[in-house]
Amino acid sequence: MNTVVCMKQVPDTETLIKINAEGTGIVTEGVKWVMGPYDEYGVEEALQQKEKFKAGKVTIVSLGPDRAIEAIRTGLAMGADTAVHINDAAFYEKADPYATASALAAAIKDLEYDVIFCGKQAIDDDSGQVPAILGELLGLPVITQVIKLEVADDKSKATVTREVEGGHAIIDVPLPAILTAQKGLNEPRYASLPGIMKAKKKPVDVKTVADLGVSVEPMTVIKEMSLPPARQAGKIIEGEDAAEKAKALAKALHEEAKLI
Amino acid sequence: MYDEYFGQSHIMLRESVRKFIAKEIAPYVDEWEEEETFPRELYKKAGNAGFLGLGFPEEYGGSPCDIFHEVAYTEEIMRCGSVGLASSLGCNAIAVPPILAVGTKEQKQKYVPPVLAGDMIAVLGVTEPSGGSDVANLLTRAVRKGNKYIVNGSKTFITSGTRADYVTTAVRTGGPGHKGISLLIIEKGTPGFSVSKKIKKMGWLASDTGELFFEDCEVPVENLVGQENQGFYAIMLNFQKERLYLAVEAHAVAEIALEESIKYARQRNAFGRPLVGFQVTRHKLAEMATLVEASKQFDYRVAAKISNGQDAFKDVCMAKNFATTACDKVVYDAVQIHGGYGYCREYMVERLYRDSRLFSIGGGTYEIMNEIISKQMKL
């Protein structure tokens, strides 16, 4: 089974995020970058499907600046076969989900695939739109938040379990299709040393947006970014006994917090 | 940093180990330390990730690599914060090499792949209650009787000993001294082989350390590793690497203790300012950092020499003594900086302080290292 995995390199969740001086993005210096955790489920699922069918190719497609090659190499070290790196810093800088999906679609359209995996969202800007726009551009069905996948032996369709509020939905979808990976889909493997060594020799096709013939402008622009307000210090309710404290608490909730 | 030793593949390996720790160890390590064990399945997980096979031949399920991959793995796995766990998980690194060095093809095929895959636990059994460093005078005796060796004696301080599937055991088959020692693979369940107790220790709590007993234990002769009475050399072959790892573990632990101390000194206030606001703290941290750096550079240099095939027999003993002494000083100061909290279980430096005490005892004591160094100096 052939698969494509869309992958974005994102800041590690443990990195301390700071807003840049212009207020339009984050300070990228000193940030530790990793493969998007939901994309990682996508890579793992692609590898497991390939192992199950004992045939096929896993291709990683990533849009990002030079540094993105590190996350691409990690995917190759996990076991992916090839990668397309759309390395175009100027485009990437201002790309919104539409522009990103347009670039990915252009890179993917000539590849062979039965399934395109995406993470359910990148954990940096959290827009979650790219898979849906990609589906529109490539004319493919999109199933989001997938936690289980069973592909028919003839690869004509798949039975997919997705998470919905308070339960699961089981869906049949014709292939090819775009599936977005949710936590629980699998347990991603660790890149082993043999995998790491092999990854060095695996082909990475580096392309600019111009190479791909994409000439779209972003539809949206980030005007301002801000950090959440710092948490206020807690308040200790004073009082002689429990009854008095309860009364003071009720008063504070009503008058200060305006919750009751 | 240290680009001459570590490249992209080393960085990626470190990343895999960090992920492994974050997911498989860090959430549970405090509990395992309290319980004085860790789940056996962690061997399987580490095997699946390829960590147990680092440096071993591909045909037995290993991943050949350069010495700095092993150094990088050793440094990173220490970041789980429990030296005992890391060491217990890595016990195969001393049990398997003698088999690969002098064992038969059948022995290698039977006893190596399952260990590197994490399905079997292999340990090395050398130390005896009557003496540790004095390997040449060990007492456990094996007498050949037909197609069996009858083994009598005991072993102690055996890392992962209570749940080992087999023990690469040093026994006396010949006369006194190092020329009478052989190696036998003794499997769990062999009649006459028993684990007498799990030893209670100062540190390395998550690691099970066992005392093993052999009473008329019948071991098939095909379990003899290498030639009879040549076992001492097979043990010696791996000493160089074992000492290097201990030195690396010591500088890695010292570095973690330093990082923890810097973190604490920045956030802890005393007399109206953070501890780093006091020159006495800053200088202490500067000295700790200097010791860590010197140990690291020394250890890397020795690793590079071993990797180049240069003689590093004396160097590795010096590196071990230097790094373990530096580590002793650094973890002492780390606890001092943490004050009362440094004496409490919830702070990592408390464990590092206890766990690191073994570095100058295990794998050849500080004194034995000095003995070897002084002999090399032809004093």
pLDDT of residue B260: 97
Interval B212-216 mean pLDDT: 96
Look at residue A218 and tell me if it is in a domain. no
d(CA A45, CA B317): 48
A217 is a domain residue: no
A220 found inside a domain: no
Evaluate whether A49 touches A115 at the Cβ level (below 8 Å). yes
With a CB-CB cutoff of 8 Å, which residues 38-67 of chain B face chain A? Answer: 48-50, 54, 58, 63, 65
Q: Do A77 and B12 touch (CB under 8 A)?
A: yes
Q: Is the minimum CB–CB distance between B19 and chain A shorter than 8 Å? A: yes
CATH of the domain at A128: 3.40.50.620
Quote the pLDDT of residue A209.
Answer: 93
Could B50 and A190 be called an inter-chain contact, meaning their C-beta atoms sit closer than 8 Å?
A: yes
- Reported as a pLDDT band with limits 50, 70 and 90, residue B374 is very high
A258 and A179 within one domain:
no
CB contact at 8 A, B371 and B365: no
Interchain contact B79–A (C-beta under 8 A): no
Q: What is the pLDDT of residues A184-239, one digit of tens each?
A: 999 999 999 999 999 999 999 999 999 999 988 899 988 898 888 888 888 888 88
| Residue A116 confidence (pLDDT) above 80 | yes
Q: What is the pLDDT of residue B259?
A: 98
E strand residue ranges, chain B: 122-125, 141-145, 148-159, 166-172, 181-187, 193-198, 209-220, 224-225, 269-270, 273-274
Q: What is the pLDDT of residue A67?
A: 94
Check whether residue A19 and residue A132 sit in a common domain. yes
Are residue A62 and residue A180 in the same domain, yes or no? yes
Give me the mean pLDDT over the A237-251 stretch.
Answer: 90
pLDDT, tens digit, 9 for 90 and up, residues B29-54: 999 999 999 999 999 999 999 999 99
User: Which three-class secondary structure state does DSSP give residue A38?
Assistant: helix
| pLDDT at residue number A125 | 86
The arithmetic mean of pLDDT across residues A125-142, rounded, is: 95
Taking the C-alpha atoms of residue A144 and residue A104, their distance in angstroms, rounded to an integer, is 18
* Residue B290 confidence class, pLDDT cut points 50, 70, 90: very high
Residue B300's pLDDT band, with cuts at 50, 70 and 90, is very high
Q: Are residues A191 and A118 in the same domain?
A: yes
One domain, residues A67 and A36: yes
Residue A97 lies in a domain: yes
Query: Where in chain B are all domains bearing CATH 1.20.140.10?
Result: 233-376
In the predicted structure, residue B368 carries a pLDDT above the cut 90: yes
Same domain for A253 and A155: no
Model pLDDT, residue A236: 87
Q: According to CATH, where is 2.40.110.10 located in chain B?
A: 122-229
Hey, which residues does B122 pair with through a beta bridge?
Answer: B166
**B229–A contact, CB cutoff 8 A:** no
Residue ranges, CATH 1.10.540.10, chain B:
8-94+101-116
Mean pLDDT of chain B: 95
State the pLDDT at residue A228: 86
Tell me: pLDDT of B237 over 90: no
How many domains would you assign to chain A?
A: 2
- Whether A178 and A68 map to the same domain: the answer is yes
Which has more confidence, B289 or A127? Answer: B289
Q: Is the pLDDT of residue A14 over 90?
A: no
pLDDT of B375 > 90? The answer is yes
Q: How confident is the model at residue A256 (pLDDT cuts 50, 70, 90)?
A: confident
Which three-class secondary structure state does DSSP give residue B152? Answer: strand
User: Would you say residue A98 has pLDDT above 90?
Assistant: yes
A198 CB neighbours in chain B (<8 A) are none
Residues A111 and A203 placed together within one structural domain of the fold: yes
> Is pLDDT of B204 > 90?
yes
Tell whether the model's pLDDT for residue A101 goes beyond 90.
Answer: yes
Same domain, A141 and A253: no
Residue B6 CA, chain-centre distance (Å), reads 22
Compute CA distances B269 → B19, B248, B272, B277, whole Å. Answer: 33, 33, 6, 9
Q: What is the per-residue pLDDT for B198?
A: 84
H helical segments located in chain A? 37-53, 68-78, 89-94, 97-108, 130-138, 193-199, 242-255
Q: Is some CB atom of chain A closer than 8 A to the CB atom of B137?
A: no
Beta carbons of B13 and A197 less than 8 Å apart: no
Chain A residues touching residue B54 (CB < 8 angstroms): 193
> From CA B308, how far away is CA B295, in angstroms rounded?
20
Residues A89 and A145 in one domain: yes
Contacts of A183 in chain B (CB under 8 A): none
Residues A123 and A30 in one domain: yes
pLDDT at B1 over 80: no
Check pLDDT > 80 for residue A109: yes
Return the CATH superfamily for domain B8-94+101-116. Acyl-CoA dehydrogenase/oxidase, N-terminal domain (1.10.540.10)
Domain that holds residue A41: 3-212
What is the 8-class DSSP label of residue A200? Answer: T
Residue B132 has pLDDT above 80, yes or no: no
Q: Which CATH class is domain B233-376?
A: mainly alpha
Nearest to B13 among A189, A196, A200 (CB): A196
Query: What whole-number distance in Å separates Cα of residue B199 and Cα of residue B211?
Result: 7
Q: Is pLDDT above 90 for A115?
A: yes
Least reliable range by pLDDT among A240-249, B45-54, B220-229: A240-249
- Asked whether residue A95 carries a pLDDT value surpassing 80, the answer given is yes
Percent of chain B with pLDDT over 70: 100
pLDDT of residue B135: 83
**In terms of domains, do A30 and A121 share one?**
yes
pLDDT, residue A258, reads: 85
Q: What is the pLDDT of residue A230?
A: 84
B169-196 mean pLDDT: 94
pLDDT at A231: 83
Q: A260: pLDDT confidence band, cut at 50, 70 and 90?
A: confident
Q: pLDDT per residue over B256-280, tens digit each?
A: 999 999 999 999 999 999 999 999 9
Query: In this structure, which topology does domain B122-229 adopt according to CATH?
Result: Butyryl-CoA Dehydrogenase, subunit A; domain 2 (2.40.110)
In the DSSP assignment, the letter for residue B22 is: I
For B63, the closest of A73, A194, A199 (CB atoms) is A194
- Phi, psi for B174 (deg, rounded to 5): -120, -150
Tell me, what's the pLDDT at A76?
98
Mark out chain A residues that contact chain B at CB-CB < 8 A. 73-74, 77, 189-197, 199-200
8-state DSSP, B73: H
Residue A73 with chain B: CB contacts under 8 Å: 8, 12
Output the six-digit token pair for A124: 């940096």
Distance from CA of B42 to the nearest CA of A (A): 14
Mean pLDDT of chain A: 93
Name every chain B residue with its beta carbon within 8 A of the beta carbon of A191: 12-13, 15-16
Q: Backbone dihedral region of B154: left (phi > 0), alpha (psi from -120 to 50 degrees) or beta?
A: beta
